[in-house]
Every structure is written in structure tokens, then in C-alpha cells.
Amino acid sequence: MAPVPIVVLISGEGTNLQAIIDAAAGGSLPVRIRAVISNRPGARGLVRARRAGIETGAVDHTRFTRRSDFDEALRQAIDRYHPELVVLAGFMRVLGQPFVDHYRDRLINIHPSLLPAFPGLHTHRRALEAGVAEHGASVHFVTNQVDGGPVIMRVRVPVRPGDDTKALGARVLRREHALYVKVIGWFAEGRLRLIDGVPQLDGRPLAQPLDYDEVTGR
């Protein structure tokens, strides 16, 4: 199977990016990362990509007064690489409808909560304030609703007594990496698709999000 070309979008440290790089280099993820693009030219994740020999680019959102102009510049930067999948890995910009429509059915995101709970920002703080017993992360197809696209799979972590946002966030992040690599792998293998707004795995619609630990037998 030929590796599937992908482009990864980041805004910061790029730890999920590193997990993707490592899995692809190790042969367990059949993708070729054609480029890593950030809206922040100084993002640490760009250094990770360069060290791995991956092309990088930056489309600085602060240079644009209109979001639509930024989205168009970003789209042009991505399309130079002709990806079959665009992966948002800690990309902290809301994308407009024309952009999302352009990559419909091939744009995915990872979000640090058990969606539909806690869409948006500050998820760990909000989870602690709500007093939930479980928190986690979700991978979903991107739609025009922020963090509201169809969820593919989630991973759960316990909220422990004495947790603060740093401790809880670190526990979630450790689980995110394997979760994202698993879902990207399904797409690259042709097993996962979004059809008529419903995720399908191996040709079967997902009536509800999968649970990572149940799928992997952990």
C-alpha cells in the first residue's frame, strides 16, 4: 500500500505531530507527511518537522485582517502538497465554511475532551469545575460547527482527587497520541470514511463514537 499523503496543521508544541512522525517513520502508520504548516511562525512543532526532514510552512494569522483571507492563504499553502487528508493537531484557529467545505470528508481534528462535552477552549479547567469523574480526548471530522463534527473515537482518563489543570491535561495528552495515530491509520488504510455526514468504519456506520480502550483491548 502506497503511503497516503497528508498535511498536518499545528499552532504550538506539536506533541501529537511527533507521535504521527514517529509512527510513520516506524512503519506502523501508512502516511507520508508532505508538509507541516503553522499559523505561528515560531511554533515548536515546526522544528520537530524540520528535524524529521519534513517540509514546513507558516501562514501567520496576525498578518490578515479578515479571517476569510487567512483561510484562503492557508488553503493555497496546503493545496501545493495535494493531501488526501488534512490533520489538525493542536491548530488553534477557527476555520470558515469555505475552507471546511473545500476539505470536506478529509479534515480531522483532535480535541481534549469527551465530545460533545466541553467544546472550545479551557477544557481541563471546565472539566474540573464541573466535577466530572472522567475526562479525555476525541477525534472528529471537522464541520462548520466548532468541535461539533461527527466524533469517530474517544479515549477516557480518570479525574483524580487533587488534580489541577496541569496534571489532568498531561494525563489526557499522553493518551491523545495513540488515539490520533489509530484514527489516522484507519483513514490511510481506506477503512474510515465520512459518508453523508456519518463516520463509517469498514463500511459500517458508527452509531456512536468508539472507545479507544474497548477497540484496542486495553
| Catalytic member of 111, 124, 135, 140 | 111
Residue 111 annotated to the active site: yes
From residue 212, alpha-carbon distances to 82, 139, 176 in Å are 30, 10, 10
Q: For residues 210 and 139, is the Cβ–Cβ distance under 8 A? A: no
Strand 204-205 versus strand 198-201 pairing type: antiparallel
By annotation, the residues acting in catalysis are: 111
